[in-house]
Structure 1
Amino acid sequence: MPFSIFFGLLWLFIAPLETKMQDQPNIVLILADDLGWSDIGAYGSEVETPNLDWLAQNGIRFTQMYNTAKCNPSRATLLTGLYAQQVGYEATYLQPLKNGITVGELLQSAGYRTLWAGKHHGFDHPMDRGFDRYYGLMEGASNHFNPGPRRENEAQPAQKRNDRPFYEDRKLFQPYSPPSDFYTTDYFTKHALQWLEEYREEDKPFFLYLAYTAPHDPLMAWPEDIEKYRGKYAEGYEVIRQRRFEKQKMLGIIDENYVLSEATHVPWLSLSDSLRKVEEQKMEVYAAMIDRMDQKIGDIIQKLRALGKLENTVFIFLSDNGASAEMVNIPGDGKIGTVGQWTSLGQDWANVGNTPLRFYKNYSFEGGIKTPLIISWPKGLRTQNPLNHYPAHLIDILPTLAELAGANYPLELNGKAVLPAEGESLLPAIRGDKSIREKPIFWEWAVGRAVRKGNWKLVAHGKDADWELYDLEKDPSEIQNVSLRFPEKAKELKALFEEWKKKVGS
């Protein structure tokens, strides 16, 4: 279907978007950690995610939404609407964000109660950057059951360190000694639900940023959640990947131009029986972690329904990068999924997680930088499960929220000038007023780099690697490098990338 017709039909189902102060929507922004593009039901997965699927069925799914390929630059970009290079997060997070305003500060200025539960892979305390409340982990990853010292009657917790910093508002716990029923996904949600109850009578809208650490390693989940997936991955990488691919086509997430990228996983039958069992267990736990996250999102939905606030709440769900092939090896008790064993998903299942795309986290190929994006707003979006093919990026989230909230982007913060947001509001694309993105979008993380303009993408991975050129309209899986056929286009995009590098000072 031509874009003009598609967006025209879509507009017939979308109610006018009101941003008057009395109609400001509540906003729930949910960020998953290391979730692959095909890891939830609405994007092709066999994992049970009924609550995310409900949001998708009553909202909009973007098929070309991008992050930055890595957690801390993605989170900085999401918070500020600027590229990570502009705020000092192109390589490390061990310094304050610079040059920008955070989404918390922006929405606070528009009268919002601002709440943040979960991970902050950054330096600034959230309550110093526009958030009224904060509970969570100020680091990259931790043991999901116990990030602190060993508790009585439990195995030694598998940890990189046992002093990961947790905060309850401004109170620092380092190490954090949690209660026996602690699980990161549960407790991040628990604090969010407590705040929703605490501020239920408040005559102002709220912004809740819920930044889960699932399904980032270590792979750990409650036994009852793992049990739901026992035996479901015995068929192996090839079968699960092909099944997801077929479901994506059925859902319309991908079209006839998509083909499965070349597999990077080993043949399932080449593994010994014992290794296949280990790989099965890893994926069972990974699925259970996603399942539990969806359950907790369901708790948020039900709470807002009970409070009478669901209709005017915007939900936005996405992931900070593609599924991860990173491996962490920490000696443990050998019981995958438990407090005593740090297990990573690994390259083979990560290849499945990003079906049908190439590569994974840390790469600027599509498997590293594409994320599901679900936007649902019962009061404002009167739609029935539409798909939106507009190219979008994390830099667009802050401008989108600004338009939703009727917030004015400032020229300065605390007497210091701030850079204007790099992104654009996605509401015109949702309304059907806009189908073509005029400005190019850029990526650079570690040895990966890319630029996209229109349907053309120039990408490389490796310090001295040659650029590769892809026509994403004809080849969205990045299989046919056409840089030799279209040298002028490659030259044009390379010049854009170098110009952007100079602009952002990286």
Structure 2
Amino acid sequence: MPPASQTRARRPNVVLIMADDMGFSDLGCYGSEIRTPHLDRLAADGVAMSQFYNTARCSPARASLLTGLHPHQTGIGVLTHDDGPQGYPGTINQRCVTIAEILRAQGYRTAMRGKWHLTGKVHEPHDAWPTRRGFDDFYGILAGAGSYYQPVTLTRGEEPAEIGEDFYFTSVLGDEAASFITQHAAHGDRGAAGAVDHDDPFFLYLPFTAPHWPLHAPEEIVEHYRGAFDDGWDVLRERRRQRLIDAGIITDAWPLSERDEEVVAWDEVADQEWQTRRMEVYAAQVELLDAAVGRVVDALTETGQLDNTLIMFLSDNGGCAEEFAPGWVDELPHPPLHTPLRTADGERVRRGNDPSVEPGGPATFASYGKPWANLSNTPFREYKHWVHEGGIATPFIAHWPAGGLRSGIDHDPHQLPDVLATVLEATGVDYPAEYPGRDLLPPEGTSMLGSWRGTPTPQRPLFFEHEGNAAVRAGRWKLVRKHGLDWELYDLDRDRTELDDLAGRHPDRVAVMARCWQDWADRCQVKPRDQVLAATGGDRPLLVVKDFVSSRRR
């Protein structure tokens, strides 16, 4: 007779991977020129979603992903700033429970490798640190971004972690995640088929900082992309759109959105060589992220755990159009938390987008800006911060060979709170009715497993708000607005690129959907944007400056 543990159905492991500031079309399997063979393979053998939505910004996306709530309910409506009683506390609160807390209580080993960004208190252990929100062990950064060569707030457990030689954060995270899987497997017995056989599966949360600014990548990887972007963003957006159509992810009925009005035609760009360098480094960052995912998949395969591991991959928001004004970091009146003053070798760090400075090395701290973010978000318009499709549409890949998923493209609309619901169904775990010391809010999501297995998810409205930018999607209809502007209405079946505003032709529908959005906002503790701005004395300083592509050839 086999041991009792071998006669039980094994609970699946769960690996949840999040990219940072990566656009809808930045993976090879979603139309990109960038090499992402490992994620492409997961998509080919699993499910690739065409209409999954995030929340348009880093911290809110992470809060919603881990808790199954809308971000405002967790205390993180914007970022990790404490904006007082009229705004958001900026720290994950006690009315939510994380996936890690739920699964650990049910016998799962829990680990995190990557970016936390769910508290403003990053220097002293706090009840909103990952080690106190369900993770048995943690390695990563607590802040929102940083140098890939010298990340600030790098922590192991609750202690500062050292940075070794030849350190590159994305690659180290891949190694750390693979090591966790291997070490976990070493504590289990192996069945006849070689699979790990124990009753303590694991949950691994792997939120990268890549490809969030700064543009940092080893030169040997950047070299892979020499010439890859020389045709410029106009031509490349057309090519990406066609690849998306060929893959069945979008339909050719949706026109490509026009080039952003603040971005000039490629033929008129003054500093083409510098511009292509920006995108080459960004592409290298995505390739290195994919390579890190590959090490995780290899570890699962080598330990016999790949088939019974639910892997999910997504991005926290659309491509990022933020730009930086040039300047030496050590001359700034208030050096930002995420930027080192000098490199490990003592070089001054040049922060900002300066055509005379080639990005990629540790002495630079640049971004790729609006024109390339426009490419990343092909075929959509707008970016991170906004809740038009370019800000909230993300690639989403699900892979679970033992889970009965049908391979192919899933076109059902879903959003971040649905991840927790999916994990709970997959693991057979119930959402806790109570949790010590907390008055829990009920989860907001719907499981995606049925959809992935071939049963369409019943339609229900999806809601969004960030910095006063608001949207509700109900079936084929989407109502959306920028803060301070009128509502726009789009038929997404016909016009997902949001080019034909139908609000003037359907005022009754606009009124009904606007009321629906307001009811949700009231229930989910969305703070009116003007109230938040009044509490903070106006907008916090933005990183955005006028893009260098406004200069034309003379």
1:96-111 mapped onto 2 (5 Å cutoff)? 96-111=92-107
Cα displacement (A) at 1:474? 1.0
Q: Is the 8 A contact 1:110 1:406 kept in 2?
A: no
1:330-409 mapped onto 2 (5 Å cutoff)? 330-331=327-328, 332=349, 334-381=357-404, 383-384=406-407, 386-409=408-431
The equivalent position to 2:168 in structure 1, one of 171, 175, 183, is: 183
Cα displacement (A) at 1:284? 0.3
2:92 and 2:65 mapped to 1: Cα distance?
A: 15
SS at 1:142 equivalent: coil
Please give the root-mean-square deviation of Cα atoms over the aligned residues, in Å: 1.4
Q: Is the 8 A contact 1:411 1:417 kept in 2?
A: no
The equivalent position to 1:310 in structure 2, one of 302, 306, 311, is: 306
SS at 2:402 equivalent: coil
Residue 436 (structure 1) aligns with: 458
1:81-480 mapped onto 2 (5 Å cutoff)? 81-93=68-80, 94-123=90-119, 124-147=128-151, 164-173=152-161, 177-200=162-185, 201-202=187-188, 203=198, 204-264=200-260, 265-272=263-270, 275-329=271-325, 330-331=327-328, 332=349, 334-381=357-404, 383-384=406-407, 386-438=408-460, 440-462=461-483, 464-480=484-500
Cα displacement (A) at 1:296? 1.1
Q: Is the 8 A contact 1:436 1:454 kept in 2?
A: no
1:104 and 1:430 mapped to 2: Cα distance?
A: 23
Cα displacement (A) at 1:335? 3.3
In the TM superposition, what whole-angstrom CA distance separates every residue of 1:354-376 from its partner, at most 9, and x where no partner exists? 00001110011000001100001
Q: Is the 8 A contact 2:175 2:295 kept in 1?
A: no
2:71 and 2:137 mapped to 1: Cα distance?
A: 24
Q: Is the 8 A contact 1:59 1:381 kept in 2?
A: no
Residue 123 (structure 2) aligns with: none
2:285 and 2:458 mapped to 1: Cα distance?
A: 37
When structure 1 is superposed on structure 2, of 415-424 and 474-483 the one drifting more is 415-424
Cα displacement (A) at 1:97? 2.4
Count residues with an aligned counterpart. 463
Q: Is the 8 A contact 2:406 2:452 kept in 1?
A: no
Amino acid aligned to 1:345: Y
Q: Is the 8 A contact 1:34 1:216 kept in 2?
A: yes
Residue 41 (structure 1) aligns with: 28
Amino acid aligned to 2:114: G
2:438 and 2:116 mapped to 1: Cα distance?
A: 24
1:33 and 1:125 mapped to 2: Cα distance?
A: 19
Cα displacement (A) at 1:35? 0.3
TM-score relative to the length of structure 1: 0.89
Q: Is the 8 A contact 2:140 2:154 kept in 1?
A: yes
Cα displacement (A) at 1:505? 2.0
Q: Is the 8 A contact 2:234 2:266 kept in 1?
A: yes
In the TM superposition, what whole-angstrom CA distance separates every residue of 1:154-205 from its partner, at most 9, and x where no partner exists? xxxxxxxxxx3121012135xxx51121111011122212211221123211
Q: Is the 8 A contact 1:88 1:98 kept in 2?
A: no
Q: Is the 8 A contact 1:411 1:419 kept in 2?
A: no
Residue 11 (structure 1) aligns with: none
1:429 and 1:383 mapped to 2: Cα distance?
A: 9
Are 2:45 and 1:25 aligned?
no
2:458 and 2:422 mapped to 1: Cα distance?
A: 17
Cα displacement (A) at 1:310? 1.1
2:423 and 2:523 mapped to 1: Cα distance?
A: 25
2:105 and 2:454 mapped to 1: Cα distance?
A: 29
Identity value in percent: 39
Cα displacement (A) at 1:23? 2.2
When structure 1 is superposed on structure 2, of 251-260 and 129-138 the one drifting more is 251-260
List structure 1 runs of 4+ shifted beyond 3 angstroms: 329-333, 381-384
Structure 2: gaps of 5 or more residues: 1-6, 81-89, 120-127, 189-197, 329-348, 351-356, 527-554
1:358 and 1:369 mapped to 2: Cα distance?
A: 10
In the TM superposition, what whole-angstrom CA distance separates every residue of 1:131-152 from its partner, at most 9, and x where no partner exists? 11100010111011123xxxxx
2:36 and 2:219 mapped to 1: Cα distance?
A: 18
1:96 and 1:482 mapped to 2: Cα distance?
A: 38
Cα displacement (A) at 1:382? 5.4
Question: In 2 relative to 1, CA 499–382 (structure 1 residues): closer, same or farther, beyond 3 Å?
Answer: closer
1:54-69 mapped onto 2 (5 Å cutoff)? 54-69=41-56
SS at 1:413 equivalent: coil
Are 2:498 and 1:500 aligned?
no
Q: Is the 8 A contact 1:114 1:208 kept in 2?
A: yes
SS at 2:180 equivalent: helix
Question: In 2 relative to 1, CA 71–191 (structure 1 residues): closer, same or farther, beyond 3 Å?
Answer: same
Q: Is the 8 A contact 1:34 1:215 kept in 2?
A: yes
Cα displacement (A) at 1:315? 0.9
Cα displacement (A) at 1:33? 0.2
In the TM superposition, what whole-angstrom CA distance separates every residue of 1:283-307 from its partner, at most 9, and x where no partner exists? 0000000001111111111111111
